[in-house]
A and B are shown apart, each in its own frame.
Chain A
Amino acid sequence: MNPIIRKLILFVATLWAAVTVNFFIPRLMPGTPGDAALAKLAGNGPINPAQRQAIDATLGVPHGSLVSQYWTYLDNSAHGRFGISYTYFPQTVSSLILHALPWTLVLVGTVTVIAFVVGTLLGVLAAWRRGRAVDTVATVGGTFTSGFPYFWTALLLLFVFAFKLNWFPIKGGYAADVSPNLSLAFVRDAAFHSVLPALTILISGLGGWLLGMRNNMINTLGEDYVTFAEANGLRGRTVALRYAARNALLPNLTAFGMALGLVVGGSLLTEVVFAYPGVGYLLYNAVVNEDFPLMQALFLVITVSVLVANFAVDLLYGLLDPRAR
C-alpha cells in the first residue's frame, strides 16, 4: 500500500480513538450533572419530579441511549457545536475558541518556528566550531537560558521592560483604543504587545533546540560518512550541512512536531502573566471558573492539533529520510 495512504488511515484511526475517549471518559463517572445539582438542593427539602426535569433541561442532560448520544456528539464535534460557555455566557464555545486561536497561532506558532530554526542553526554552528568561542558562548548561554522557567522569564521581562522602564505595554494583545481588524495600525499595535510574550517563549525555547542539535550534530560528525566526505575533499559547507546537519536534524524533527502540536494549547503561563487573549489564557479561565463545555472543547482541539502536527511531521519525515519511506 502507498505509505501516505497507510499513514492517513492510521491518522484517522488515532483521531477517532482520541475523540471517542474524550466522549466516554466523563460518562464513565457515576451520576449525571443533574444529580450533583440535586444533591445540593436536597438539603432544602424533598425534590419533586418537576424540579428534577427543570434542572436536567437547564443543564442539557442528554436523553436517549449512550450510542445515540455518541452519534450526536460526533455530529456536534464535526460541526464545531460545543455548546455555550458558563463563564462567558451567552457566547458559544466555538466562537470563543475561534477568537483566541489566531492570537495563539500567530504568537506561539511564529515564535516556536523561529526558536526551532535559530536554535538549530546555532547548534550546527556550535558543533561545527566545537571548542571554539562560538561553541562556548552558545552552549553555556543555551544551558543557562533553557534553565529559566517560562513564568519566571515572563515575570522578569514584565517587571523590567513594562513596569520599570515602561517600554512595552504591561498586558493584553492590543490597546483598548484600537479595534481588532486587519488595519496597519492594529497590526502594529498587536506586534508591539506581542514583543515581551514572544521574547519569553524564545528565551526559554531556544536553548533546548540549540543543545539538542549540537549534541546530535557532534554524534553525526563522528560518523564514517562525514569522515569519508572530508577525505574526498568535499567543501566544508557541504560536509557540515548536507552530510552532518542533514542527518542530525532527523531526531529533532519529531520533537519539533510535538512542539508544533502543542502550539495550539498556547503557552499557558506566558499568556496568563501577560493576560494575552490566546488559547492558553482561555484555558486558564475555563479551569479557574469550572467552565466544563469550554474545557472539554479546548482539550479536544489541543488533542486534534497534536495529532495533525504529528501527522504532518510524519509525512515530512518520509520526504527527508529515504529509510522511512
Chain B
Amino acid sequence: MKLLEVEDLSVVYEASRSDPVRAVREVSLTLDDGEFVGLVGESGCGKSTLGYAITRMLRPPARLESGRVIFSGTDIASLSGERLRRMRSHGFALVLQSGMNALNPVRSIENHFGDVLRAHQRTSRADVRRRAIELLEAVKLPPETLRRFPHELSGGMRQRVAIGLVLALDPRLVIFDEPTTALDVLVQKAVIDTIKDLQRKVGFTAVLISHDLGLVLDSADRVLVMYAGRIVEDQPPARMVTNPAHPYTRALLGCYADPRAERVELAGIPGSPPDLSQPSAGCSYAPRCTLVEPGCSSAEPPLVEIGPRTSVACYVTARQSAHPVAGHENEGQQ
C-alpha cells in the first residue's frame, strides 16, 4: 500500500549574492508501507535536502520550489503551522545526521521524552516515565538513562535516545539522515541493527540516507541512487550489486575494494558533479559517463522502469534493456 507519493519535487537554495542552486530537481517517487529504503549518493547530490523536504524541515535559504508530497492522502507540502505540527505525531519523523547534537544539553533525557509526548497529548508524569522506559528498552538502553543529561552519554547512546524520541511519535515514516556518520564502525553496525529490528517490529517505513553504499546495500530492501539532484536508479540491493543499471552506480560500486581480493583495484570516478546553479541540457552525468552518446545531451533522461522493481534514468541502459519490458517504458516509474 502506498504511504508516500512525491511528485515533481524541486528544492532550490537561494543565496543573495550568487545564482540559486537547484539541489533537488523534479524528483518523483513512491514509498510503500513497511519498506526499508536506502538513499545513496555523494556529498551535495541532494539526498539530505530531499529528506528534509519530505519531512517539511527545509529552512531558508532552502525553499520548496514546486511539487507535491502526499502522505497517506494529505498533501503535506501545502500544510503549515499548527496543522503541520500535528501531522508529526503518527506521521513522518526525521533522525538527524549528527545525533550527537540532537539533544538539548540542559534538559535531562526524561524531560526530552516529556517534551515530545506532551507536545501531542496530555500525559501525566507517571505515563511519561512508563512510556520513556519502554522506548529506551526498545533502543536497548537501560532505564537509568532517564536521569542522565546528554553530555553524560556516548555518541551511540545519544543517537539511540534520538531514535527513541522519534519512536515516541509513533511514526509511520522515519527518515534517517546519515544516522551513523559520526560513529565508529562497530557502534554504527549496532545502531543500524537496532533500526532494522525496530522497523520490522514497529512496521514503520524507513528511509536510510547515506553516502556509504556498502552500508545501504547491506541493510535496505530497496536502494535509490541520487546524482546531481535526481534519482538515477531504483533497484533492490541484491540485483544492484550484480547488475547495476546506471553507469554511475556501476562506477560507484567500482570504488569499493573487495577485502578478500589478492590484488585490490580501485577505480575512482573521473571528473566532478555538475554545478547545480547552472542550468544543464541533457543528462548531468554525461560529462563523466563512459557510455555517453550524442543523444545524451538533448534532455535529462526520465526515470523509466526497465524490469521488475527496477528503474533507471539513462537513455543507453534503458534502450539496451528495452526489449523485455518495452510496454512499461511510458509509465515512468513503478
Contact = CB atoms under 8 A, between A and B. Distances in A.
Contact of A234 (B96, B106, B119): B119
B57 A229 contact: no
Interface stretch (B62-70, B84-92, B185-193, B210-218): B84-92
Contacts of A250: 106
A231 B55 contact: yes
A238 B86 contact: no
A2 B57 CA distance: 43
B172 to A, nearest CB: 14
Contact of A228 (B102, B120, B151, B168): B102
B94 interface: yes
Given A243-B104, A321-B106, A322-B149, A229 B115 contact: yes
Interface stretch (A100-108, A179-187, A219-227): A219-227
A246 interface: yes
Interface string A228-252: 1111111110100011001100100
B166 interface: yes
B107 A242 contact: yes
B103 A242 contact: no
Given A228-B162, A233-B169, A322 B119 contact: no
A323 B115 contact: no
B314 interface: no
B98 interface: yes
Q: Size range of the interface on B?
A: 20 to 34
Nearest to A247: B106
B151 A322 contact: yes
A224 B98 contact: yes
B222 to A, nearest CB: 24
B101 interface: yes
A320 B106 contact: yes
B106 A231 contact: no
A230 B102 CA distance: 11
Nearest to A244: B104
B313 interface: no
A224 B169 contact: no
B77 interface: no
Contacts of B85: 233, 235-236
B116 interface: yes
Contacts of B96: 224, 227-228, 231
B295 interface: no
Contacts of A323: 105, 149, 151
Contacts of A228: 94, 96, 102-103, 162, 165
Nearest to B88: A233
A224 B55 contact: no
Interface of B: 55, 57, 59, 85-89, 93-94, 96-98, 101-108, 115-116, 119-120, 149, 151, 162, 165-166, 168-169
Given A228-B96, A233-B89, 14 more contacts: A224-B97, A225-B101, A227-B102, A230-B57, A231-B57, A231-B88, A231-B93, A232-B88, A238-B119, A242-B115, A246-B104, A247-B105, A320-B106, A322-B149
**Pairs of residues from A and B, 9 with the lowest C-beta to C-beta distance, nearest first:** A233-B88, A224-B101, A228-B102, A322-B149, A231-B94, A225-B104, A234-B119, A224-B102, A233-B85
